[in-house]
Structure 1
Amino acid sequence: ALDQTTEWIKESVHEELLSLSETALTPGAKNSSRPSLSPTLVLNNSYLKLLQWDYQKKELPETLMTDGARLQELTEKLNQLKMIACLSLITNNMVGAMTEGLPELAIRVKKISAVLLDGMNKETFNLKEVLNSIGVQTCVEVNKTLMERGLPALNAEVQANLVGQFSSIEEEDNPIWSLIEKRIQLYMKSLLCLPNPQKCMPAVPGGLTVVQQELEVLGSQYASIVNLNKQVYGPFYANILRKLLFSEEATGKAEASSSTN
């Protein structure tokens, strides 16, 4: 029995139905008696969940057990890239105008971030403290660059603000983190829609240029795992989707029927 796999896909079915229902309720949307779900969309959405999976606490679907270690490693690397992209975006927003045209500064800050964030997925890792350190180091690098150009260093208030914004990334519902996460999900989703992502990578959304190279490599590895998994377990997924989608459709018709009576 593929109970975990069924539950994993079922979750996506419900999410996609909810999304379609919300779309149908928006002004100007065409009314339809019942939203139809794409099995491919549902399955891809399920695969995207694996990039936010808690591999320490949550059991994997049975069909992905053999890929668990690789998926966990990719997810951990992706979290680090997300963090670097967040730090870069904050830096650009705050001091980008002063350091414009200096790609070497962005590279230095990226290297510092990558080194200090190494191992960030370990439970013993003090993320807030490390983000604070990266903020301080970033201020040092920015000031050094400004002074080399004969410009005044950042004042204490700006530096404190920058460090504070860095430290706040780890807080729940941080808007910068949410934005970067959505864009990475969008990128990965577009990857799964391509027939051959290795030959033609999708465009990287704004704010992710700083990690574009790493993201493309990681995305390619992720797409390979997903596509191979689809090939091996495709018939099982088709069977589960058939049952779930037919069941959802039947439920929808019953609801529609009862509401008209």
Structure 2
Amino acid sequence: MEIAFWYCVEAELREDPPSYNHAMKLLSKIKESLLSLLLPHLHARLRTCIEEVLDLPLIQQQAENHVLDVGQLANFIVGMMATLDHQYAKVRDGEIQKLRETTEMVPLFSAIFSVLILMKMDMANFSWSIDEYHELLAKQPSAYTEKWLQDTVSEVFADSAITAMLPDNVHNTAYLRLLKWDHGSDPFPETVLMDQVRFQEMQWELERLVLLASVLLNVYTITGAAISGLPGLMDTLKTTVAPMLVDMHTPSFSAEEALATIGERLCVELSRQLDQHGYSPFSTDRRSTLKRQISATAQPDHHVRKLMDSRTQRYLLAYLESSGTETAYPVHGGLATVGKELTHLAIRFNRLVKFNKVGWSPVYQRILQGILQEKEEKD
């Protein structure tokens, strides 16, 4: 029956003009499968997107008027599958990449069905693991998760800018602390252990952006008005610096050597740009000052680097506390040079946090209530 079905689909699509009777049944099943992979309160935007693009009455109308673009629908479906797989476990990257490389429509939709079946199994396993872990937590304490939340409560209470101990505030601060984690010595909280690699990759990316922003802020501070009127210069300088920080977290990377090289190259580029646009030459004193300041940012406690780190932390926390929409969030305070990259990171971080909250918020709430009650009793 399955072979006969796909034969009918292929036969109808080969007609002139094409017929879409079986294809419509196919799209209906695909839409149903995609919607079944969504989680409540997490994928509202994706649900709306699926409903709008896979609007079956509209697609039927397009088919009847012979203006239906099946290839465009296929691209949307594969893209949505990639988005959902990325949010769960990224275990179907290989299969989805093969879908992108398939150009024949019938083999493509047949493969889409096969991968959707696997993704449904992934979703079922994920739901089962959450239920199983909830049962486990009911029987024994989750020591590392409790310590993570306990330390976060202490941090929030110590912050004079925070006047209310709201659960969301504590939760968001807790997740933000995962981007400052010492993975070499501190055990990761049990509830986010499956995503430890993702959080660590985001942490590395954030640290690269902080250092990149620090270097560029030093350039602007030292050269000042001389470069403010040169459109595109900061992008050029960023393009020069960024590739040299890609391996920042590898054992062979030397921050001192990399930043010394960066200082030399930026001085050459700045001298060229200033000379080209008729500005005063980049003096030897300013060259020395710039290279010295750039080299100094190798230290995490350098004042400019600490400032950029603090501002990125505030930005990410504000993003988590915002409405949750994935539209561009304003980037200020010297971070504009890395605004695009920082916003992209914030979107991915927010998705991962929202996804984790769906599964574990009840657990966090129970632990948090116990921590606050114990604190009140002590006070």
TM-score by length of 1: 0.87
**Structure 1 residue 106 corresponds to structure 2 residue 234:** yes
Q: CA deviation at 1:59?
A: 1.9
SS in 2 for 1:98: helix
* Other-structure match for 1:182: 310
**Structure 1 residue 204 corresponds to structure 2 residue 344:** no
Q: Percent identity, aligned pairs only?
A: 29
**Alpha-carbon distance in 2 for matches of 1:36, 1:114:** 39
Deviations 1:109-161 (A, max 9, x none): 10111111111012321001101111111000000001112333212111111
Q: CA deviation at 1:195?
A: 2.8
Q: CA deviation at 1:172?
A: 4.1
Where structure 1 has 5 or more consecutive residues not aligned to the other structure, the ranges are: 25-34, 253-261
Instruction: Give yes or no for contact 1:37–1:245 (8 Å, CA) kept in 2.
Output: no
Which 4+ runs in 1 deviate beyond 4 A?
A: none
**Alpha-carbon distance in 2 for matches of 1:233, 1:68:** 15
Q: Aligned pair in 2 of structure 1 residues 125, 57: CA closer, same or farther (>3 Å)?
A: farther
Which protein shows a greater Rg?
2
**Structure 1 residue 245 corresponds to structure 2 residue 372:** yes
* Other-structure match for 2:276: 148
TM-score by length of 2: 0.61
* Other-structure match for 1:192: 320
Q: Aligned pair in 2 of structure 1 residues 197, 53: CA closer, same or farther (>3 Å)?
A: farther
**Alpha-carbon distance in 1 for matches of 2:275, 2:364:** 60
Q: CA deviation at 1:39?
A: 1.8
Which stretch shifts more, 160-169 or 46-55?
46-55
* Equivalent of 1:115 in 231, 243, 267: 243
Which stretch shifts more, 224-233 or 45-54?
45-54
**Alpha-carbon distance in 2 for matches of 1:118, 1:218:** 15
* Other-structure match for 2:20: none
Q: Which has the higher contact order (CA 8 A, sep 6+)?
A: 1
Q: CA deviation at 1:203?
A: 1.5
Instruction: Give yes or no for contact 1:82–1:180 (8 Å, CA) kept in 2.
Output: yes
* Equivalent of 1:76 in 191, 194, 204: 204
* Other-structure match for 1:8: 148
Instruction: Give yes or no for contact 2:300–2:306 (8 Å, CA) kept in 1.
Output: no
Instruction: Give yes or no for contact 1:197–1:223 (8 Å, CA) kept in 2.
Output: no
**Alpha-carbon distance in 1 for matches of 2:235, 2:329:** 23
Deviations 1:203-230 (A, max 9, x none): 2122011111111111000000011111
Which stretch shifts more, 93-102 or 3-12?
93-102
**Structure 1 residue 231 corresponds to structure 2 residue 358:** yes
**Alpha-carbon distance in 1 for matches of 2:143, 2:328:** 34
* Other-structure match for 1:130: 258
- Amino acid in the other structure paired with 1:73: E
**Alpha-carbon distance in 2 for matches of 1:65, 1:19:** 27
- Amino acid in the other structure paired with 1:237: Y
- Amino acid in the other structure paired with 2:367: I
Please give the root-mean-square deviation of Cα atoms over the aligned residues, in Å. Answer: 1.6
**Alpha-carbon distance in 1 for matches of 2:264, 2:301:** 23
- Amino acid in the other structure paired with 1:184: T
Deviations 1:24-76 (A, max 9, x none): 9xxxxxxxxxx752222111111111111122333210011111111111111
Instruction: Give yes or no for contact 2:210–2:309 (8 Å, CA) kept in 1.
Output: yes
- Amino acid in the other structure paired with 1:163: K
**Alpha-carbon distance in 1 for matches of 2:214, 2:270:** 17
Which stretch shifts more, 48-57 or 224-233?
48-57
* Other-structure match for 2:77: none
* Other-structure match for 1:93: 221
Instruction: Give yes or no for contact 2:324–2:350 (8 Å, CA) kept in 1.
Output: no
* Equivalent of 2:347 in 216, 220, 233: 220
**Alpha-carbon distance in 1 for matches of 2:268, 2:241:** 13
SS in 1 for 2:159: helix
* Other-structure match for 2:168: 40
